[in-house]
Structure 1
Amino acid sequence: MRWTSSGRNRLAPAWLPLRFRRRHDKPDRNDLRQGTASMESVRERLDQILARLAARADRETVFSRLYPEAARTAADAADARRKAGVSLGPLDGRIVSIKDLFDVAGEPTLAGSRLRASAPPAARDALVVARLRRAGAVILGKTAMTEFAFTAIGDNPHYGTPHNAADASRIPGGSSSGAGVSVAEGTSEISIGSDTGGSVRIPAALNGVVGFKPTARRVPLSGAFPLSFTLDSIGPLARSVADCAIADAVMAGEEWSGLPAASLAGLRIGVPRGRLFEHMEDGIAAAFDLCLRDLERAGAHVTETGMDDLLSEMRTATRHASIAALEGAEVHADWLAKGAAAPVDPHVSGPLARAAQVLAPVYIRAMRRRAELVAVMDERLAGFDLLALPTVPVFAPNIEAMADDEKLRERTEGLLLRNTQMANQFDLGAISLPMPGTDLPAGLMLVARHGRDHRLLAMAAAVEALLAG
């Protein structure tokens, strides 16, 4: 982790594992992990976090870089505004971290890779970072990520792997691995990640926080290191839907007017049984069914629906390589051309190298077919307000097991991505909420049609309140 512009320490966390809250647990208002600002000053909250991070500085895995002096300056300014009765908005004074693929002026953007250590310094902040600063956010630092935002396990062989916030022996989920852990452990109030196939929602689910993927391109990608120009979305992780909605509005350049009230009575919820429910752990299946019963008691209309045909068609369209790998191969064409000389995680370089061999007509056909399937999916979802399904079908597996068993790793990664990537492939909005009733964190994913982001957030807030009751 970098505390200043120089020096990096190797990692491994020191904080104690957290107990995941059950359905009726009441939050501790003094708990630093709560996403809402307390009556403490911003500087006091920041100093508590910095003290925690300083105590583990020689074994840090959650943050790749910290900006303590800049953060203190921003915190003091927020406190001065509050004392003067002035506010820049609901994000003013909130402690925010950003994934290590967003440009910060004056330093190279590493994107989790040693290959980027010698990259030219960014000329300016990424647009979302600039908007966060203007809204009064206190940017604490950059969070760890998988190399080039590829893979869902959450590990990084170069800079270390954050440990799951509920159980340090388990994976954090990726690619926004540090973001999920940071919010769950309370070293950020909000963290900004990117989501190409589930990279915000997977770590949110596995660490027990909220993660929101907006409709692609609604939040500008300028200054964010790309993986897939088609699928990349920028989204927040936080302890509440409201905090995610505030951060999302700021990054999208929208005026915040609060979340509108949404009634669950009469809400039309589709449950896409079939392939997306296969190989699900019993505890997740049971918790999901409890959520559905709660929704029905609240007046929602829950209907099973099918989409296996569309999923099969998308799989056929991308059978040569995923869209993320195909477009990522173009992003990384220069070092891929050097072959084995590049010091890149083989779990990243392998799929990208194979995708680089796919001919352009194959990519064009895949994208044309995807556009057709996106339209069909949108029509099919017209009869629903939401789809509901588990974010991931498994609890976070053991980190060491992933390292020692390549077949298990491959199977696990497929399961982690299976449900979440559907929203990216079909150009939908999606949010993961902590799902109560499990011993380890699990997520309830709500999915809405393209462009219905505000409505999705309002409905998610209503579901959140129901599940917390």
Structure 2
Amino acid sequence: MPTSPQPTLASLAEDLASGRTRSVDLVEACLARIEDADGEGARAFSLVDRAGALKAAEGFDALRAAGAAPSPFAGIPIGIKDLFDVAGQVTTAGSKVLADAPPAPRDAPSVARLRKAGFVFIGRNTMTEFAYSGLGLNPHYGSPRAPYDRATGRISGGSTSGGAVAVADGMAHAALGTDTGGSARIPAAFCGIVGFKPTARRVPLDGAFPLSSSLDSIGPMARSVACCAALDAILAGEEPTLLTARPLAGLRLLIPATVALDELDSTVASAFEATIARLSQAGARVTSAPFPEFGEVAGINAKGGFTAAESYAVHRALLAEKAEGYDPRVSVRIKRGADQSAADYLDILAARRALIKRATARLAPYDALVLPTTPVIPPRVADLEGDDAAYGKANLLILRNPTLINMIDGCAISLPVAGEGGAPTGLMLAGPAESDARIFAIAAGIEAVLKG
């Protein structure tokens, strides 16, 4: 893993514009890291498009030389989560049961928008099978390790595991991910990068293999808040604009004292407390108060919630044909959807509508929620791979805080915060639906304080 600070999309764009580097140079450097036998490339990518990436890079270098680059970011290598359709490639969604599926006839809209901006797709990133876990373990394609304590081997978080590791290790300069209950924010927190979950309806879900149509969203992972803001604008079909950091003086932040602070390990707790102290010293007005709506989420999801019901609807025919090919830890969760009745599902829909309405009203006096992204630092792979009970317990705990935001139809970002001994933790900022621009501005202001 690179030890020096790695470039942002803005700095790469400047280097390309000035001629200090070429797209071919960037792609070759990323490929070298992917192919490093001592690195995580074999576990972070299920497919590497060496020839296609180099050809695209040569094309963008020629366009830039002619003054015709489609955007300042043209030629920057990016990883694509394996559940997105890329024209001519098979979308396996991290599973062997789809390995014989026909290649996608066209790009997913999110992929097409990145392609139009000129990003170079260097490969498909590994993920939890069918995106159904927050841990990032995959018995089919490999489980990339988090950068922290790599000699021991710790999980990278899921489900966008390979994308986060690729960005952290310099194998790509950004990654396209999804977030149903933390699938972008959890790996970002565990790998020391930034991950963003937008208001779900802002980015079209077409061409992305679904987990839960009610909760799925598409978001970026990168090395700074500004990187994620630029990518989010492209994904939403908007024009990227200069991100202005919001000053912290007078900022109204709410720490939800219900559920979100339960079972924090000592590293996360101390890092969160220290971070809140810094934000208060910078002028933020931080309040801790109950958030009763968060106390209702576990009950709403007691029978598996939206993810079980909606994933079972997608998978039931495939399970009947190829159940033995699934990761058992994934299929058992999908099959919980078979036990939900139509009445159960309608109850969940009604409960969530009421939850969103009350949570949005509770958030109105504040600029943002602030809470730990995950309650714990990355667990050891060895503690989870052979123990189903430990796996299940860790999965529920690690998904908990991000899921709270998806359930209230919010948007959220995870910022990296180093804990004791350099252990990675995440600081999550969140707001109600359609507050994306505000959350980015606040996150940029907090990022500046934390780096200062």
**TM-score above 0.5:** yes
Residue aligning to 2:219: 235
Contact 1:34 1:186 in 2 (8 A): no
Q: Tell me what 2:163 maps to.
A: 179
- CA separation of 1:34/1:187 partners in 2, compared to 1, >3 Å: closer, same or farther? farther
| Partner residue in 2 for 1:392 | 374
Residue 254 of structure 1: how far off its partner (Å): 0.3
Counterpart of 1:126 (choices 108, 119, 124) is: 108
1:333 is matched with: 316
Q: Structure 1 residue 35: deviation in Å? A: 7.7
Q: Which moved more, 1:182-191 or 1:87-96?
A: 87-96
Contact 1:106 1:121 in 2 (8 A): yes
Q: 1: CA distance between counterparts of 2:27 and 2:309?
A: 41
Output the CA distance in 2 between the equivalents of 1:335 and 1:85: 49
Listed one character per residue, the Cα deviations across residues 271-302 of structure 1 (whole Å, up to 9, x for unaligned) are 01232111111121111111111111211110
SS of residue matched to 1:275: coil
Q: Residues 9 and 73 of structure 2 are in contact (CA less than 8 Å); yes or no, is this contact kept in structure 1?
A: no
1:226 aligns with 2:219: no
Q: Displacement of 1:341 after TM fit? A: 4.1
- Which range is displaced more, 205-214 or 318-327? 318-327
The amino acid across from 1:430 in the alignment is: A
1:257 and 1:86 mapped to 2: Cα distance? 20
2:8·2:224 contact (CA, 8 Å) conserved in 1?
Answer: no
Partner of 2:329: 347
2:176 alignment partner AA: I
Structure 1 residues 38-117: aligned runs within 5 Å: 38=15, 39-56=20-37, 60-117=42-99
Alignment deviations for residues 364-395 of structure 1 (CA, whole Å, 9 cap, x no partner): 11111111111110000001111111100111
Q: Is the 8 A contact 2:27 2:76 kept in 1?
A: no
Contact preservation (8 Å) 1:171, 1:398: yes
Aligned partners of 1:206, 1:88: CA distance in 2, in Å? 34
The offset of 1:167, in angstroms, is 2.5
1:311-352 deviation line (CA, Å, top 9, x unaligned): 2323222322221111111111212335x7431011111011
The reply on whether 1:317 has 2:297 as its aligned counterpart is no
How far 1:34 sits from its partner (Å)? 8.4
Unaligned runs of 5+ in 2: none
Runs (5+) with no aligned partner, structure 1: 1-15, 20-26
- Alpha-carbon deviation of 1:59? 7.2
Preserved CA contact (<8 Å) 1:206 1:441 = yes
Matched residue, 1:457: 440
Once the two structures are TM-superposed, the CA of residue 65 in structure 1 deviates from its matched residue by: 0.6
1:122 to partner: Cα distance: 1.1
Equivalent residue for 1:155, pick from 132, 137, 140: 137
Counterpart of 2:355? 373
Q: Which has the higher helix share?
A: 2
Can you list the C-alpha shifts for 1:133-187, whole angstroms capped at 9, x where unaligned? 1101111111000100001110111111111122321011000000110111111
The superposition leaves residues 423-450 of structure 1 with CA deviations (integer Å, 9 ceiling, x where unpaired) of 1111000000001343211100000111
Which letter maps to 1:144? T
Within the candidate set 243, 252, 275, 1:291 is matched to 275
Determine what percentage of the aligned residue pairs are the same residue: 43
Structure-2 separation of matches of 1:32 and 1:138: 16
CA-to-partner distance for each residue in 1:258-281, whole Å, 9 max, x for gaps?
213412111100001232111111
